[in-house]
Structure 1
Amino acid sequence: MKIQRCRGFRDLAPEEMSNFRLIETAFRDCCLKWGYHEVRTPTLEYLYLFTATGTLTPDRLNRVYSFLDWDGWSGERVVLRPDGTIPVTRLYIESMAEQGRTKLFYVTNVFVFEETGQKSRERWQCGAELIGVNQAMADVELLALALNVLQSLGLNGIKVRLSHAGLVRAILAKFELDPAEQARIFDQFLDGDTEALAHLKSDKPELMEALTLLLDMKGRSSGFLKNIKALFSQKLPEFEAPLNNFIAITELIQALGYDCQIDLVSGKGFEYYTGVIFQLFMGVELVGGGGRYDDLIPLMGGRDTPAAGFALYLDGLMKLVKPETSAEPISKRILVRVVPEVTKEGFSVASRLREVGYIAELALGGEKTDSYGFILEVQSKAPKFILNDKANGAKSRVESAAEVLALLGSR
């Protein structure tokens, strides 16, 4: 039998893990500086968490990994988490609801079955959730945090695409559809399927006019949205509240100096969102997205609590972060060669080198010396230590570990 990994899954080699940790560390550092707190949820969650509330579409539910978790005489169907936000929301409802406003972040994998096995079935993401605040500033904070992370990784020129689920929901509510049909058409619109219009019928032409305009709506400023408001505020008063919210958010984004593109049919994968939706692109690569989901916590049995969040997609980011930016500099790597008689001294000096920030590797044979900035010989006779600087070929001979550290500190 051929030994191989499962289809649709991948291994991360040392170079890839270096990139992974670089992104993870940048994300974690930024979140902590913005006042967010790290959490982690189990890989397994009960299936009903995703089905009873309708938080995932039928299409996505057909692509989850689920099985029976036998517990005594009965079993409950569980899933490998297909989403990062819903488990964190469950954690908040179960353990943190009394805290009120809460800022959380996490790094997690999610699992989505894909039939061909050509696309990844395990996807890593960095996520942040801001729970308990319903303000335009909270939505903009999340966008600014996401951009802060990307900029700290050296990724500039990120394109921000904005949409607003509340606008589509406000108009669809006027068509008097049953909930299932309304949800289906809403998802089609967010996926950019304008043919869904053909399934809608209304004796009010202004509804079809408004919806057609929304699906074609593309602009770059709050002024564009104000023009849309002027066209429909009288005919469709339900349209006004979500549009005012969209305008307020866009004005704040512009005030911070961020460029954005408004495109209402750009919310694919955001089925449970209720307000603004943002997507982040580096070229054609989608590297992140998020938005507001005020209905999710009450749908899951919690109190009526507003919330918003985002995720950055590690798999895509790893292709964009240059390997050299994540590699340890050779100047910080030291190969320590020890003769058997002074093994204890060799371990001791290597430990002290690590304490002051060097990567100290004990020579076991077969090492490629061009991977190190220094080679330190530990001998049983004088001189006790010989430090070879690979950059210039200079050799220094000293008698103590303290002198070795002093030599390195002078370089």
Structure 2
Amino acid sequence: MPKPRELQPLPVPPGTGALEVLPALRRALDGEGPALLPVAADAPGQAQHLIGPLNPGEDAEHDPTALVIATSGSTGTPKGVLLPAGSLRASAEATHRRLGGPGEWLLAMPAHHVAGIQVLVRALIAGTTPRAVDTADGFRPDNFAAAARELPASDRPRYTALVPTQLSRLLNDGGEGLDALRGFDAVLLGGAATPPALLARARDSGVRVTTTYGMSETSGGCVYDGVPLDITEVDVDGEPGPIRLAGPMLARGYRNQPDAAAFAGGWFRTGDLGRFADGRLEVLGRADDMIITGGEKVAPLPVERVLAEQPGVHEVCVLGVPDPEWGQAVVAAVVADPAARPDEEALRAAVRERLGAVATPKRIALVDELPLRGPGKPDRRALAEQLTC
């Protein structure tokens, strides 16, 4: 019996330093050497419980496990998502087919998360050399523009991937950062729900934005602008109902969880709720984020979309907090423009008019920033603790 392959950490530096992992990543995609667990270089002990020999069923000689991605751990200890080389390749190739062919890629987000490392994977699959944004001082539009100028001049398409916060910063700053963004043939946008107003503003500004839906378990985005990639099957059981995904981009399963129910029957049960509208998948948020208030169900995402459209609102997260009368009360945490703070009653009125009284927040908390887990994703657990103190 052959010796089990090892899972070893792959420390990923931030910013331009992330490009240092390309040789190791190439070997992993080719099935050479150990499987790799990308971790932030400044937190090398992250997900240490996942390190060690791969178990039976976690690897395959014909399609070796290349990467294990540690999930962001919203429900406790991070899980390790087992991604075979074949799944990563299938995802990258399907992305190129949808966008217009293999191209030049600019990395603008942390590469120890699936959205970031897939930028590097796509470049390797395309046979191109990616560039990366200098993030030593955080994400800055001038550094984005400088990195974009470093992309090779060729007839290949130019691509990048952002989270909504980065897109908003580039739009607000204008100037050379926005000019550079307009030069990309596609800007993948994911990591968190995109407010419709932000999306419309980007497209009105000449930015070719493509929204993505996916997760570590699907090798990143697998539904673009609501339409599945040509390798992706989508099933929604109900209207709305739980979303299931299938296709060659799926992970092998979870590390140390051989019988994980989420992967039963060749489908991945995402834990999200959705529906099809005009032939496109509309994601309504996590099933476990659903708020039960006074016996009625309220999905946070539609409330967030209404609030995000209001003047003076920069970011918003809606959640349920314990309430002695309602069971859960709908509460909105809002990051507001300091120079034009929105009127709280006007915000509530906007929700009431569009979604009804049940969905109207009982409380609106103005906060300086939203706690995050992963690139651009609000940490609802931390925020709930903050708002119930």
Asked whether the two chains share a fold, i.e. TM above 0.5, the reply is: no
- For normalisation by structure 1, the TM-score amounts to 0.25
> Which structure is higher in RCO with an 8 Å CA cutoff and minimum separation 6?
1
TM-score (norm 2): 0.26
**Higher normalized strand content (fraction of residues):** 2
The structure where helix makes up a greater share of residues is 1
